[in-house]
């Protein structure tokens, strides 16, 4: 009976909260003397999860804890509740976010170096306001630039438990061999038979590369974190 | 325009690439990209490779590179910088990133930079920097190659390729992030109306140290009252003064002796006595004795 | 099957919405050609209601439509989600309290004279509510102002047996000297292995030193709560 009450409290709290709740936060709802231990709470969470079977929602664990989410398969209907189109993010913002996510902690200068252009202050501001990034320190170089990292709110927003769940970063093809092969030889004179011979391959890899990697085969990429 | 016409007929191999060489707008990530769509078709079609020989794109550049200034602006804004533009030029020529023809790319890149300049597009320094770098690589490749003992110096072309690769992987990562399910678009967090809350507001905690710091602060500020503040009497006297006043409150006359508690011992009696003296001195109480050697009564001055 | 899907859509939409949804609004989630009629939607709502049995939430019809709400019986636990962090007391309040402790019995006017600024009624009210001060009489001057003193609750809170356990005023006045002195003697007392040998350490231990600065048995009081 008390067991079932615990599940109800967990269900009610998760639905009432405006953010995901961790096991510790759920435990904090109880007076010390009646506080269930973490494994008991996890059992209650498992029970609550099981109870979502065949329902329009499910219990999901994200970075900050647990929350109820509408099943993604219902998205076509549920999305109609909102008139406005979902917000679009500019490429500049997404590239900056990607660099912070994959290279954190990283300074603005380092981001600019890779992107080849200045990062606008507005982008940094927007990312801060969304609470997707935070300053985790300052690099010990002149100017002591801030180092940025992503937050758990960022992970929550993208439905992730941790950074490992991000798509793997594409691999950089080996440069040492490349440099050796290339030398300064002019591509025109390329007598390199192997390069010419598998033009088929070249065309193929081109396809993939050009599409911008949206179809990069996963075997080409590495788990970079 | 003529290039566009001839394109499908010249080489079948060019067909699939037509889709491939779509500018970044095809990814449709940001709004400006969409706007750029139609305006951009002109220049890009004009330079579409019409043949691929041994993996090498053969491109005939159109005679007129004229793009209406506004369209050019939109076109250029579709790029996230020189690296992005370079990637686009490379891709459009069906070149593998590892196999770029620097002189060809440089020529094309320069043409765009000149165009930007010509229409007084506010040319970002980054684009010029890249132009200078490309020119340098090109010139070095024209020089006779010294033997392989200058390994220490990195091939500038390799350096460029690495930068392009590095940029491209994050460009791709950005697209991946865009494709990830996210709140407000694919994911809806469930919530229900909370029950009526019985809120209790916990009292703030105070540390004795904070209290003392506050007092030290006020005393420093009120330096002129220092003499007044620092009195010799022990705090217990002041405390007892409060107690005596409390005892007197609401009463007319209280027998002097009743204010003492012998159980407190000698020290307690002294403290009480000092407290009453201080109260008299501060005119907070008065002492009344109606007859000689009669009982002494104490009365609060105010109540 | 479609039936069950309808219930799921209704559940998902109600859970995602931030306001009650009417039958018409629920119907609006569907394309015209597949739109269920109102009685079908009402059936789905009835089914969704039934599914809440023994759960921490329930489906409720209110004026504007239907919504999920957390069971009222769970309020004692769920309320803790919003339990406000205790704010800190203002400097003005602490100064007032300290002056009452040291100068009791004391009127508001006398406190103001020392502090050089007015004492807000809120501060006096808060201190009363906390039962840290009491009125022990009225001074016989125009206006008959109340004289304040500390209470035994005040002593209890700070874990003092009597006011004498507070440091003497003279000590406090010279807080810097006091802390510096005590800062050096502290390591012995606490058995801290590192003597405050270098100035860096001394500065850091200053904070602690003030704690120890009471030097009275009341030391413990600083560690509780």
Print the SS3 string covering C14-83.
HHHCCCCECHHHHHCCCCHHHCCCHHHHHHHHHHHHHCCCCCCEEEEEECCEEEEEECHHHHHHHHHHHC
C77 contacts on B by Cβ (under 8 Å): none
Beta bridge partners of C70: C57
The pLDDT value given to residue A97: 97
pLDDT at B114 > cutoff 70: yes
Put simply, the answer to whether B245 touches C136 (Cβ < 8 Å) is yes
Q: What mean pLDDT, rounded, does chain B reach?
A: 70
pLDDT for res C36 = 94
Q: How far apart are CA C165 and CA C105, in angstroms?
A: 18
Q: Any residues with CB less than 8 A from the CB of B275 and at least 6 apart, and which?
A: B237, B238, B240, B241, B243, B244
State the Cα angle at B100 between B24 and B113, rounded to 5°.
Answer: 60
Mutate to test the interface with A, among B25, B133, B177, B191 (most CBs of A within 10 A): B177
Q: What percent of chain B has pLDDT over 70?
A: 63
Tokens of C225: 């709560």
- H/E stretch holding A64 reads none
Q: What is the DSSP letter of C163?
A: G
Average pLDDT (A137-142) is 94
pLDDT(A59) > 50: yes
Closest CA to C221 of C168, C152, C150, C156: C156
Residue C183 lies in a domain: yes
pLDDT of residue C175: 58
Q: C23 with C134, same domain? A: no
Name which residue leads in pLDDT, C168 or B240: B240
Residue A48 located in a structural domain = yes
Place of tokens 């569907």: C30
Asked if B157 lies within 8 A of A184 by C-beta distance, the reply is yes
Give the count of beta carbons closer than 10 Å to the beta carbon of residue C46.
12
pLDDT of residue B62: 40
- Residue A7 is assigned to a structural domain of this protein: yes
**Chain C interface test: which of B183, B205, B214, B225 (most C C-beta within 10 Å):** B214
pLDDT confidence band for A200 (50 / 70 / 90) = very low
Tell me how long chain A is. 225
Residue C63 shares a structural domain with residue C174? no
The one-character DSSP state at C220 is G
Does residue A159 form part of some domain? yes
pLDDT of residue B73: 66
What pLDDT, on the 0 to 100 scale, is given for residue A89? 93
- Write the pLDDT tens digit of every residue in C33-73: 999 999 999 999 999 999 999 999 999 999 999 999 999 99
- Counting residues of chain B whose pLDDT is more than 90, the rounded percentage is 9
Contact B191 C18 (CB under 8 A): yes
ipTM over 0.85: no
Q: How far is C193 from chain B (nearest CA, A)?
A: 24
Segment (H or E) for A60: strand A57-62
Same domain, C186 and C106: yes
| pLDDT exceeds cutoff 80 at A128 | yes
CB contact under 8 A, B222 and C74: no
CB-based contact (8 Å) between A9 and chain B? no
Q: How many beta carbons lie within 10 A of that of residue C73, not counting itself?
A: 14
From chain B, the residues in CB contact with A75 under 8 A are: 186, 188
- Judged by a CB distance cut-off of 8 A, whether residue C146 touches chain B is no
How far is the C-alpha of A90 from the C-alpha of B78, rounded, in Å? 10
Residue A46: is its pLDDT beyond 90?
Answer: yes
**For residue C75, is it within any domain?**
no
Model confidence at A212, in pLDDT bands (50, 70, 90)?
very low
Nearest to A11 among C13, C51, C55 (CB): C55
Q: What is the CATH number of the domain that holds C116?
A: 1.10.10.10
Residue B20 to residue A203, Cβ atoms within 8 A: no
**Residue B100: exposure state from Cβ atoms within 10 A (0-12, 13-18, ≥19):** buried
In this prediction, residues A75-89 reach a mean pLDDT of: 89
Task: Report whether B253 contacts B288 (CB < 8 A).
Answer: yes
- pLDDT at C89 (0 to 100): 87
Q: Please check whether residues C94 and C199 belong to one and the same domain.
A: yes
Candidates B42, B38, B55, B57; CA nearest to B1 is B42
Contact A184 B124 (CB under 8 A): no
Looking at the domain assignment, is residue A216 inside a domain?
Answer: no
Whether pLDDT at B291 is above 90 = no
User: What are the phi and psi torsion angles at C100 (to 5°)?
Assistant: -65, -40
Closest CA to B129 of B81, B166, B173: B81
Interface A-C: count of C-beta contacts within 8 A: 90
Q: What's chain A's average pLDDT?
A: 81
pLDDT at B151: 54
Q: Compute the average pLDDT of residues B157-176.
A: 91
Same domain, C118 and C53: no
For chain C positions 115-174, those within 8 Å of chain A (CB to CB) are none
Nearest CA in chain A to B158: A179
Q: Domain residues for A109?
A: 88-207
> Tokens 């594409």 appear where?
A170
Q: How many CB atoms lie within 10 A of CB B263?
A: 6
Q: Identify the pLDDT of residue C132.
A: 94
pLDDT tier at B69, thresholds 50, 70, 90: low
Tell whether the model's pLDDT for residue B66 goes beyond 60. no
Chain C CA closest to residue A31: C77
Mean pLDDT of B175-195: 92
Position A200 in a domain: yes
Number of domains, chain A: 2
Q: Rounded to an integer, what distance in angstroms lies between the CA atom of residue C220 and that of residue C223?
A: 5
pLDDT (average), residues B203-207: 79
Q: Are residues A21 and A120 in the same domain?
A: no
Average pLDDT over residues B77-91: 85
**Which residue in this structure is represented by tokens 């009344």?**
B288
Q: Higher pLDDT residue, B299 or C171? A: B299
Query: Given this model, what pLDDT does residue B259 score?
Result: 85
Dihedral, B108, B114, B120, B125 alpha carbons, nearest 10: 80
Do C140 and C193 sit in the same domain of this protein? yes
**pLDDT at residue B294 greater than cutoff 70:** yes
Q: Using a CB-CB distance cutoff of 8 angstroms, which residues of chain A are in contact with residue B157?
A: 182, 184
- Same structural domain for residues C92 and C203? yes
Do C95 and C172 lie in a common domain?
A: yes
Q: Does the beta carbon of A179 lie under 8 angstroms from any beta carbon of chain B? A: yes
Task: Give the N- to C-terminal CA distance of chain B in Å, as an integer.
Answer: 106
C133 and C196, same domain (yes or no): yes
Residue A42 lies in a domain: yes
φ, ψ (nearest 5 deg) of residue A75 = -50, -40
Q: Which chains touch B (3 or more CB pairs under 8 A)?
A: A, C
Mean pLDDT computed over A6-33 = 94
Q: What per-residue confidence (pLDDT) applies to A144? A: 94
pLDDT for position B302: 65
Give C130 or B126, the one with higher predicted confidence: C130
Which pLDDT belongs to residue B281? 83
Distance from the Cα of B153 to chain A's closest Cα (Å) equals 11
Q: Do B238 and C104 touch (CB under 8 A)?
A: yes
Percentage of chain A modeled with pLDDT above 90: 66
A157 CB within 8 Å of a chain B CB: yes
On whether both A49 and A116 belong to a single domain, the answer is: no
Contact C101, B214 (CB under 8 A): no
CA dist list (Å): C200 to B169, C205, C210: 47, 9, 17
Lowest-pLDDT choice from B1-5, B58-62, B136-140, B205-209: B1-5
Q: Which residue has the higher pLDDT, B302 or B31?
A: B302
Mean pLDDT by 10 residues, chain C (225 residues): 78 94 94 92 95 94 93 92 80 92 90 88 93 90 91 89 80 59 39 37 34 35 36
- Least reliable range by pLDDT among A127-136, B5-14, C159-168: B5-14
Together in a domain, A99 and A148: yes
Q: What is the DSSP letter of B183?
A: B
């Amino acid at each position: 009976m008390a067991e079932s009450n615990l599940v109800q409290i967990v269900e009610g709290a998760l639905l009432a909260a405006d953010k995901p709740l961790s096991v510790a936060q759920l435990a904090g709802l109880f007076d010390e003397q009646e506080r269930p231990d973490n494994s008991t709470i996890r059992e209650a969470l498992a029970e609550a999860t099981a109870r979502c079977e065949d329902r329009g929602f499910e219990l999901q664990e994200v970075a900050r804890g647990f929350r109820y989410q509408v099943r993604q398969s219902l998205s076509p209907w549920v999305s109609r509740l909102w008139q406005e189109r979902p917000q679009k993010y500019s490429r500049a913002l997404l590239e900056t976010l990607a660099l912070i996510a994959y290279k954190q902690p990283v300074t603005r200068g380092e981001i600019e170096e890779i992107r080849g252009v200045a990062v606008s202050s507005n982008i940094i501001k927007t990312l801060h306001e969304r609470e997707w990034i935070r300053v985790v320190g300052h690099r010990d170089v002149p100017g002591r630039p801030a180092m940025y990292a992503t937050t758990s709110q960022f992970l929550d927003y993208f439905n992730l438990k941790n950074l490992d769940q991000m798509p793997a970063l594409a691999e950089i093809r080996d440069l040492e061999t490349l440099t050796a092969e290339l030398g300064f030889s002019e591509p025109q004179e390329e007598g390199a038979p192997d390069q010419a011979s598998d033009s088929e391959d070249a065309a193929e890899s081109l396809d993939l590369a050009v599409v911008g990697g949206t179809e990069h085969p996963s075997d080409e990429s590495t788990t970079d974190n | 325009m003529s290039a566009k016409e001839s394109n499908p007929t010249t080489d079948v191999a060019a067909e699939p690439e037509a889709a491939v060489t779509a500018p970044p707008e095809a990814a449709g990530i940001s709004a400006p990209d969409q706007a750029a769509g139609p305006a951009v078709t002109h220049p890009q079609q004009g330079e579409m490779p019409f043949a691929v020989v041994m993996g090498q794109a053969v491109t005939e550049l159109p005679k007129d590179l004229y793009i209406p200034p506004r369209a050019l602006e939109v076109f250029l804004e579709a790029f996230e910088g020189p690296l992005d533009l370079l990637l686009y030029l490379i891709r459009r020529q069906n070149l593998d990133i590892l196999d770029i023809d620097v002189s060809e790319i440089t020529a094309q890149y320069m043409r765009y930079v000149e165009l930007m300049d010509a229409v007084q597009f506010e040319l970002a320094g980054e684009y010029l920097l890249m132009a200078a770098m490309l020119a340098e690589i090109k010139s070095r490749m024209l020089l006779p190659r010294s033997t392989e003992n200058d390994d220490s110096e990195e091939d500038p072309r390799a350096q460029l390729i690495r930068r392009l690769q590095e940029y491209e992987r994050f460009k791709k990562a950005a697209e991946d992030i865009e494709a990830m399910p996210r709140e407000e678009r694919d994911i809806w967090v469930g919530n229900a109306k909370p029950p009526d809350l019985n809120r209790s507001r916990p009292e703030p905690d105070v540390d004795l140290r904070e209290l003392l710091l506050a007092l030290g602060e006020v005393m420093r500020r009120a330096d002129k009252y220092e003499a007044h503040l620092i009195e010799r009497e022990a705090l217990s006297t002041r405390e007892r003064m409060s107690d005596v006043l409390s005892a007197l409150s609401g009463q007319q006359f209280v027998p002097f002796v009743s204010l003492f508690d012998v159980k407190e011992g000698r020290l307690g009696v002294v403290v009480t006595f000092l407290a009453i003296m201080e109260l008299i001195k501060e005119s907070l109480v008065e002492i009344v004795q109606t007859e000689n050697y009669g009982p002494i009564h104490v009365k609060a001055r105010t109540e």
